[in-house]
Structure formats: structure tokens, C-alpha cells
Structure 1
Amino acid sequence: MPRAGTPLRKLGFLTIGSFDPADPAAGHETTLRVVELGEQLGLDSAWFRHRHLQYGISSPVAVLAAATQRTRRIELGTAVTPLGWENPLRLAEDWATVDILSGGRLNPGMSVGPPMHWDDVKAALYPDTADVEDFSYERVLRLLRLIAGDPASTFSGREGVVEEFSDRVQPHSPGLRARAWYGGAGLRSAEWAGENAMNLLTSSVVRSEEIDGVDPADFAGIQAAHLRAFRAEHPDGAAARASQGLVVVPTDSATPEQRARYEAYVAARTPRTTAPQGPARMLFARDLIGPSEAIAEQLYAHAGFREVDEVVFALPFGFADADYVQLLTDIATRLGPALGWRPAG
């Protein structure tokens, strides 16, 4: 999207599906209703983020399976599944099953590396193999090979009277490999995703690193460089799919009370955006808040946004159900049109 006036092609949203630990069913139901609302509003995609050992969606694959039965058109994705928590063979079976149930609407996003708080969880997660688990890119390639239909077993055929075995993951969903996304925060991850013909998910977090011609404290410049590097390595070049995910808080139809809470939320998160954070020197994007027209202007001025034609806006964490209805409705009816987007269907 090089300039204002070029229409945004795809518009989606991301949620972590927060819930009250005393009543988790209500939170999961709210998440499903938000996905249904997204479809009704004509949004192109709905994405879930993993929250292991937290009060958010710990099993997106299960919630996505439920969502397939309550929607008909909207694409469904994970942004992202951290593969350090997963067995690639089992996950390949789960994803293929959800893709079949959805009619080919699944967009599985993934990343690698050791699980968060690794020293605290490794005894429960990998009690016998923690020291030898491979958390490198090979874990992604292994999963991609399995969903593409490469052999998973040396045996196939009939055994006994009724047992029939396949040597590859079943069910097999032929288009799933082409809809696989990698969530990368660094230049090497973006290049690697391109080299391996994946789609690229960028978010509101990037790594501050040395890139020729880019200020290492410039979030937008770094993100734009990642997107250009990704396409430079991808077989599809400029046509390779990439999506940007920022936190946007449109206030067009918000009540005064909602606007006050939203502004306090953004103000509390803004200090972390002023400099790289932690040993990994991660940079956080500023949340964009205000009327949709003002947010659109800020997006068109954002170097990262100008490199994409599809976005997945993240819904803020910990808000009330009515807030999500207001935000999603404003995103679909005010912000999307301000970016030249048109609702599906």
C-alpha cells in the first residue's frame, strides 16, 4: 500500500479471548460471538493468539473448531502458535481437521524458539526430553512437510479386518500448506519465511537491530525493512502475502466512559514504546487511538503499513464485551472504509 488512495485488500482482527478463571465458559462464548460478529460485519479474517498458562485461549485449535461450525465465510487463523509447545505431527492432524471442517478457511500461523518461562515449564512440558528438544526452524519445516503430505510413517495398508493405515497425516487438506504463516520479529525470520515460501505475519513487536539505512529505534522503518526483505527472498516476490498487525482503538461510536478507559489503557502502554525493551531489545509500536479518519492518516504515514495490502488489527486486552462490539463495529464500518477497504460479501 504505497500511498493514500490505494485500497486495503483484506481486513481482519486478532483476539486473545480473555476469560475469568472462575467462569471460563463465558469468556470462550464471548470469543465465539466476536468471531460471528466479525463475519456479519464483512471482515475477512479472525485470528487467535495462544496464552499458555494464562487466562486467555490456551487451545486455539479447539476454539477454532467450534468457530468453523458458527461461521461460513470468514477466514480463521492463529497468530501465532508457538511450536515449542507442540508436537508437529499431532498439530498437523489437528490443523488439517480444522481446515476440513472450515471448508479450507484455516490460516495457521506459527513461530519457533523455546517456550516462554522455559525453566519454569520444561519439567511439565518435556520431563524426559527437555535437553534435546529442537526449537529451531527445523521444527517449522517438519510441520510444513507433514501438512503438505510427506510421509509420516513407513507403514501403510490394511491390517486385520477393518484397520486401514495411511503413511501421511489424515485428513489431508491440499491447500493448507499454501496458507501457512510465520510470525517473525527479526530480519532473519522475515528472510527465512520468504526463502521457505511461507506467508509473513508482522505484529506490534519487532527487534531493534542493525539494518542498513534504518534507525535501530525506528519501529516503522524496521518493520518496512523486514517486509521488503521477506519479499526479496520469496518465490512470489512482490505478490507474496504479508500482513501487519497493530493495536488500533477507534473511538467514533465510543461513549465518553469508554473513551476515557481506552485513553487510560493506551497511556499506560505508551512508555514501553519509547525505547527497546529487555535483553532482546524489542521495540513496541504505539497503540493508535482516536477517530477512524485520524487513525487512517497515521497508518498511511507508517512505513510498515505502506508495505502491505492486508492487516490484522489486534483488539486490546482485558476490555468488556460491549467494548469489543464497539471497536469491531467501528473498525469494519469506519476505519476500514477510510482505508479503502470494502466488506466481504
Structure 2
Amino acid sequence: MAGQDTGRPLRRLGFLTIGLFDPADPGPGHAFTLEMIELGERLGFDSAWLRDRHLQHGISSPVAVLAAASQRTSRIDLGTAVIPLGWENPLRLAEDLATVDVLSGGRLNPGISVGPPMAWDDVKASLYPDTAEVEDFGYGRVERLLGFVSGERASTFTGTRGIEVFSDRVQPQSPGLRERLWYGGASFRSARWAGEHAMNFLTSSVLKVDESLPEGEAYDFGALQAEQVRAYRAAHPAGEAARVSQGLVVLPTDSTTREQRERYTAYADARLERTREPQGPGRLLFAPDLVGTSEELAEQLAAHAAFREVDEVAFALPFTFEPEDYVQILTDMATRLGPLLGWEPSA
């Protein structure tokens, strides 16, 4: 079957995982995440992305895991989606990102976001015991990171003291890293800010309904996300060429067992109610999970207004599936779904 008419042909196919592990024995879970990234490279995926989960049983240090992945792969791009900067010192993070980018040969794609840390009242005494009440979790934190990555001064001193040589810039400097920084945003405000600051933009399966809905498109996730993408590109100096990656949950069932197919469907059904209207005080709207054969999924994506606006995706994997499920999903994505969307695997 020829590729579906999906608007823009899919140019880059990626996947996103939380890196689930057993807290009583975390080694195997972390090792399997590395194996998934290696599998993704063998299957021709263009990118592999890690979520960032603090005080949970998912990867809490994606940059460290990607450092390991950089030594087990040679081609696939390695991303974070996303690092919440409220947990980070931008200067120290800039050093870590540049180091891993050098180790990977320029393949790191750091995704970041701002805002107070999740469960702020529970962690603030541990995270910022002396400065919790004055910490700024706004966009200024991103601007500091962008500056350090770009080579702006981080110190008032450069030169030699005794036998030690000091730089006034973050070391190492990794050329090109600034152009591979992504902002993960759920709101229209964040989309415009990312565009104005010439960052790449990560969309996901969550939108913040914080502005007036376009007339006639109330709670249509795809239409709202398409508007968000257009708002981002309108603010970006590169316009239509600005990079956007979409992160829906997409589960192909071509090679599943009957039990897997039933479990995937039950998973999506259990999460469907939250897609009908915005949830909670943050007014978060969730996209429905897509489950079906690759031909069925290609048809659904071809009709998805936001998918038609992008040519890059990092499809999100469910948090709690089994290792064999992830292998099946990635294999079907690369060998069946991707080609139907116009994508060709990387050599």
C-alpha cells in the first residue's frame, strides 16, 4: 500500500519512553532502556527520547542514561522530553548537556520546560532549602541555559591561577547544540515563546486550554494542536521551516498476539474519558490514544489536523507495558506504520 496523504510526508520517526524500572532491582529496567535505543537504531528510527521522572520509578537522570546510549549507538539522535528546569541549575545542566553532546558526536537533542517542580510543596524543602520562596521558575531559566550553551560568559575570570587554567565559558563547548535545543510546551503562550527564541518545539498528547478556543473547534484536540503549531511557526524566525515534533501515543497491532491487542485496547479505553473535556484547574486536554493496524493508524493520522502540520514525530510509549510489548510496537512502527506515512528508515 502506498503512503497515506498525511499533509507533510513524515521525514523523521522517533519514539519516547519513560524507562520504567523495578525499585527493588533498578538495573534491568535501565539496561532494557538502553537495549530499546539500540533496537531503535537497528530498525532505522531517527531519534529516541527519554522522559524525566523525579522521585518515581522512571528515569530520573536521562542525560546520564543518554551518555551511556551514546557509546552503544552511532547514528540515532538522543533526546530528552522533557527536562523540567525547576529541578536544575542551568549552568551545571549546560555542562552536562555539552559533555554528552561531545560524547555522542553531536547527536543530543535536549528538550526542556519551565514551571514549578511537580509536587512543589512536598519537595521544596529538599530541593531549595534556603531559596524556595525566591526561586524563579519562569522562562528566564531557559534563557540562562541557552546563553551558557551558546558560549556566553559564566564567570568573571578567565586565565591562569597557579598551575590551573580557567575559562569564562562552559566547558566543553559543543558547536551546534544550541540549534538542537527543544522546548516542550502545552500552552499557546509557550509555543509562541519558543518560536520567538528560535527553539525547536515539542508537542505532546497534552494541551493546556488556556485561551479562547477557535470557533467551531471546541475540544477538538487535533485542531487545537494544529493552531498551536501554526502560532509557534508564526513567531519563529524560520517560519514554516521551524522544527516541530509531535508526541502522540500510537500503538500498532499488526504483529500482536490476541492478548496484547486486547490489553492495548483496554489501556486506551481506560484513558478515553479524560479526552472529552479539559481536566483540573490547569485545564489540560488529552489526546485519545490511537490503537489499530498500521493501515488504520495511517488513516487516523492522515485525518489528524496537527499531524498534517508536522514532518517529525516521537510517538510516546505507554508507561507500564512489558518489554516484549515495546519490541513489538517499535518493530511495527518502523517496518509497517512508518512507510505508510511516507517515512524511510535511516541507513
Sort the TM-score into its range (normalised by shorter chain): over 0.9
Letter of the 1:170 partner, please give it: Q
Distance 1:263 1:221 in 2: 24
Q: Matches of residues 145-164 of structure 1 in structure 2 within 5 Å?
A: 145-161=147-163, 163-164=164-165
Amino acid in structure 2 at the alignment position of 1:207? K
Cα distance in 2, alignment partners of residues 119 and 4 from structure 1:
44
Which blocks of at least 5 consecutive residues in structure 1 are unaligned?
A: none
- The CA deviation string for residues 87-120 of structure 1, in whole angstroms up to 9 with x for no partner, is 0000000000000000000000000000010000
- Letter paired with 2:167: S
Does the residue aligned with 2:54 lie in a helix, a strand or coil? coil
Q: Is the 8 A contact 1:214 1:221 kept in 2?
A: no
- What per-residue deviation string (whole Å, max 9, x for no partner) do you get for residues 300-343 of structure 1? 10111011011110011111111100000001001101101000
TM-score for the superposition, normalised by structure 1: 0.98
- SS at the partner of 1:109? strand
| Shift in alpha-carbon separation, 1:6–1:147, aligned structure 2, 3 A | closer
Q: How does 1:223-302 map to 2 (within 5 A)?
A: 223-302=225-304
Output the amino acid matched with 2:288. Answer: R
Aligned-partner residue type, residue 89 of structure 1: L
Within a 5 Å distance, the mapping from 1:298-309 to structure 2 comes to 298-309=300-311
Letter in 2 for 1:190: A
2:140 maps to a residue whose letter is E
Q: Is the CA contact (8 Å cut-off) linking 2:8 and 2:310 kept in structure 1? A: no
Q: In the alignment, what sits opposite 1:197? A: 198
Alignment root-mean-square deviation, CA: 1.3
Corresponding residue for residue 176 of structure 1: 177
SS in 1 for 2:245: strand
Q: Which residue of 1 aligns with 2:29?
A: 27
Residue in 2 that maps onto 1:81: 83
Q: Distance in 2 between matches of 1:43 and 1:71?
A: 12
> Partner of 2:167 in structure 1?
166
Instruction: Please give the alpha-carbon distance, in whole angstroms, between the structure 1 residues aligned to 2:180 and 2:78.
Output: 11
TM-score (norm 2): 0.97
Cα deviation, residue 136, structure 1: 0.5
* Paired residues, number: 344
Q: Secondary structure at the match of 2:271?
A: helix
Aligned partner letter, 2:47: S
Alignment of 1:57-76 (within 5 A): 57-76=59-78
1:220 — aligned with what? Answer: 222
* Percent identity of equivalent pairs: 70
Secondary structure of the 1:243 match is strand
Asked if the contact 1:246/1:287 (under 8 Å) is kept, the reply is yes
Contact in 2 for aligned 1:20/1:55 (Cα 8 Å): yes
TM superposition outliers: structure 1 runs of 4+ over 3 Å: 2-6, 211-214
C-alpha separation in 2, matches of 1:139 and 1:3: 40
Distance verdict in 2 for CA 1:30–1:214, change over 3 Å: farther
d(CA) in 2 for partners of 1:74, 1:239: 22
Specify every segment of 5 or more residues in structure 2 that has no aligned partner in the other structure, as ranges.
none
Name the counterpart of 2:128: 126
- Tell me the CA shift for residue 260 of structure 1: 1.4
